[in-house]
């Protein structure tokens, strides 16, 4: 355009509208979801979802396979919205902190090229869960679905104060590896090393109790055995069906609702499993919660839809371990959080702590500043 010439109103409106769009991507143990939004929540725009989890290979989460699914879906959402680019993208992925090397290496350039985004955030799914549940305020969030992770954060207010919250940093001064920037993390180590109290943990415990009943060993549950055979078929054939599956955590987690149903019907073994899960969840929350009166503790994720069989013992455990805290309903889910982070990036208003492993921000577009 020549200097001094007027930009057509229609073109200017379209350009300004496109700049407002942001893209949120949520990749978890139970599938991949994408949302396009004008504002800070996926309810403001179209969404897409797939029940198939991201592929994990030798380099961790495989970026090419994730892009192969996300890019066509996101472009379809953009066409539906009458746009062709976004201002910012946030990708939240389960395992980002420990399995995200390939994503960090390939996603920034690929997403900038595909969508014209000038800013990108790569976040652990716990961070997007935190942003979805509490927004940009200090507190703690337990995200529990297939897996489980707890995150606590000290978030600077616009006046750069820290809203009076403090962590007990004595361990951090000694080099506590859990502390990174303004985040405090507990668990989220995957179904083999942790995720204690999460969906896969509960499902595996329920299946173990069912197999104990099948064998006639102590600690077995006939009701859980009946549910195993109703869901998976003959109990003796379960190992051959389960072990070859690449999505074993999701398969294990799919049995967690059956544990909840048996607990609701007063099966003592199922009830004990959920009480143990509640204790693990509360331990994780206590490990990360800032030490301030009335600290918000958010519970988010599909696991908590199990209802009273899990929530009743969990509330009791939280009250005992965190008497100063206030358990609050999550305002939104991890996809909401991904959109909120992307919107904050687009508006230069991100206050959540930036961290190399948990929340990495990359300036990728033409407006990026070169350090």
Long-range contacts of 309-317 (CB under 8 A, 24+ apart): 309/260, 309/263, 309/264, 309/270, 309/271, 309/274, 310/260, 310/263, 310/274, 310/277, 310/278, 313/274, 313/275, 313/278, 313/279, 314/278, 314/281, 314/282, 316/278, 317/278, 317/279, 317/281, 317/282
Residue 107 confidence (pLDDT)? 86
Residue 41 confidence (pLDDT)? 54
| CA 191-101-54 angle, 5° bins | 50
pLDDT tens across the length of the chain (371 residues): 333 334 443 444 344 444 479 999 998 777 889 999 986 555 567 889 888 777 887 778 888 888 888 999 999 999 988 888 899 999 998 877 767 777 888 888 888 888 988 899 999 888 999 999 999 989 999 989 889 989 999 876 654 444 444 444 333 333 333 433 489 999 988 889 999 999 999 999 999 999 999 999 999 999 999 999 999 999 999 999 999 998 899 899 999 999 999 999 999 999 999 999 999 999 999 999 988 788 899 999 889 999 999 999 999 999 999 999 999 888 898 899 999 999 999 999 999 999 888 899 998 755 443 33
Long-range contacts of 10-18 (CB under 8 A, 24+ apart): 14/83, 17/83, 18/83, 18/84, 18/85, 18/86, 18/87
CA separation, residue 327 to residues 139, 155, 224, 318 (Å): 10, 18, 31, 8
pTM of the predicted model as reported, rounded to 2 decimal places:
0.77
> Alpha-carbon distance 110 to 352, whole Å?
25
With CA atoms as reference, report the closest residue to 112 among 35, 41, 23.
23
> Alpha-carbon distance 29 to 335, whole Å?
13
Residue 267 confidence (pLDDT)? 97
Residue 366 confidence (pLDDT)? 56
């Amino acid at each position: 355009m020549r200097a001094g010439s007027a930009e057509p109103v229609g073109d200017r409106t379209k350009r300004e509208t496109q700049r407002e769009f942001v893209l949120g991507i949520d990749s978890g143990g139970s599938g991949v979801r994408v949302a396009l939004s004008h504002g800070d929540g996926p309810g403001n725009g179209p969404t897409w979802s797939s029940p198939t989890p991201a592929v994990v290979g030798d380099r961790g989460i495989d970026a090419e396979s994730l892009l192969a699914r996300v890019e066509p879906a996101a472009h379809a959402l953009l066409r539906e919205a009458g746009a062709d680019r976004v201002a910012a993208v946030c990708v939240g992925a389960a395992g980002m902190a420990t399995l995200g090397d390939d994503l960090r290496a390939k996603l920034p350039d690929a997403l900038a090229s595909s969508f014209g985004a000038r800013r990108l955030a790569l976040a652990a799914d716990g961070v997007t869960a935190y942003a979805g549940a509490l927004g940009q305020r200090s507190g703690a969030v337990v995200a529990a679905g297939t897996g489980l992770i707890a995150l606590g954060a000290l978030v600077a207010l616009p006046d750069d104060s820290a809203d009076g919250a403090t962590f007990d940093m004595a361990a951090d001064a000694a080099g506590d590896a859990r502390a990174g920037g303004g985040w405090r993390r507990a668990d989220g180590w995957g179904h083999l090393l942790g995720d204690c109290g999460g969906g896969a943990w509960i499902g595996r415990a329920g299946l173990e109790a069912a197999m104990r009943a099948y064998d006639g060993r102590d600690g077995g549950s006939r009701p859980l055995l009946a549910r195993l055979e109703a869901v998976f078929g003959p109990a003796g054939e379960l190992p051959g069906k389960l072990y070859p599956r690449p999505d074993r955590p999701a398969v294990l987690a799919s049995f967690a609702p059956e544990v909840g149903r048996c607990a609701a019907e007063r099966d003592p073994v199922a009830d004990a499993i959920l009480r143990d899960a509640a204790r693990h969840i509360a331990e994780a929350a206590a490990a990360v919660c800032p030490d301030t009166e009335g600290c918000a503790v958010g519970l988010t994720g599909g696991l908590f839809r199990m209802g009273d069989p899990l929530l009743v013992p969990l509330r009791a455990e939280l009250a005992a371990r965190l008497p100063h805290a206030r358990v609050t309903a999550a305002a939104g889910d991890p996809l909401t959080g991904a959109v909120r982070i992307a919107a904050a990036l687009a508006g230069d208003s991100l206050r959540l702590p930036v961290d190399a492993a948990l929340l990495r921000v990359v300036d990728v577009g033409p407006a990026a500043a070169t350090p």
